[in-house]
Homo-oligomer: A and B are copies of this chain.
Amino acid sequence: MNVDLGNALAAEASPGISRENLERLDERVAGAHERIEAGIEAREHGYAALALPETVDTDAIAAAVEPFSDSEAVLTVGIGGSALGAATIADALDSDVEAYFLDNVDPEQVTTLLADLPLASTTVNVVSRSGTTAETLANFLVVRDAMADAGVDWTDRTFVTTGESGPLRELADRHDLPSLPVPDGVPGRFSALSTVGLACAAIQGHDLDALVAGAADQRERLSDSLFDSPAYAYGAICYALDVRGASVNAMLPYAESLETFAEWFAQLWAESLGKDGLGQTPARALGATDQHSQLQLYRAGPRDKMVTFVRPRERADRAIPETEFEALSYLGGTGLGDLLDAEFEATEASLAAAGRPNVRVEIDRVDERGLGELLYAMEAACVLAGELYGVDTFVQPAVEWGKNAARGLLGGGDFPEADAVDAKRTLRIE
Contacts and interface: CB of A to CB of B under 8 A. Distances in A.
Interface of A: 1-7, 9, 11-12, 79-81, 84, 94, 103-112, 132, 134-135, 137-139, 141-142, 144-145, 167, 171, 188-189, 226-230, 233, 247-248, 255-257, 263, 266-267, 270-271, 273-279, 281, 283-284, 286-289, 291-305, 315-318, 320-321, 323, 325-328, 330-331, 334-340, 342-343, 345-350, 352-354, 396-399, 401-407, 409-413, 417-418, 420-421, 424-430
Given A106-B256, A283-B281, A295-B399, A336 B139 contact: yes
A387 B210 CA distance: 54
Nearest to A267: B293
Contacts of A294: 266-267, 270-271, 274
A348 to B, nearest CB: 7
Contacts of A6: 424-428
Given A105-B288, A425-B7, A296 B338 contact: no
- What secondary structure prevails in chain A residues at the interface with B? helix
Contacts of A410: 330-331, 334, 338-339, 342
The count of identical subunits is 2
A346 B405 CA distance: 5
B111 A255 contact: no
A79 B428 CA distance: 36
A303 B330 contact: no
Nearest to A250: B281
Contacts of A81: 292
Given A142-B321, A331-B134, A343-B402, A108 B257 contact: yes
Nearest to A104: B289
B227 A9 contact: no
A4 B424 CA distance: 11
19 contacts: A2-B428, A3-B428, A7-B424, A104-B286, A105-B336, A105-B340, A106-B255, A107-B335, A138-B320, A167-B328, A227-B429, A248-B248, A279-B302, A283-B284, A330-B410, A345-B421, A349-B402, A349-B421, A353-B401
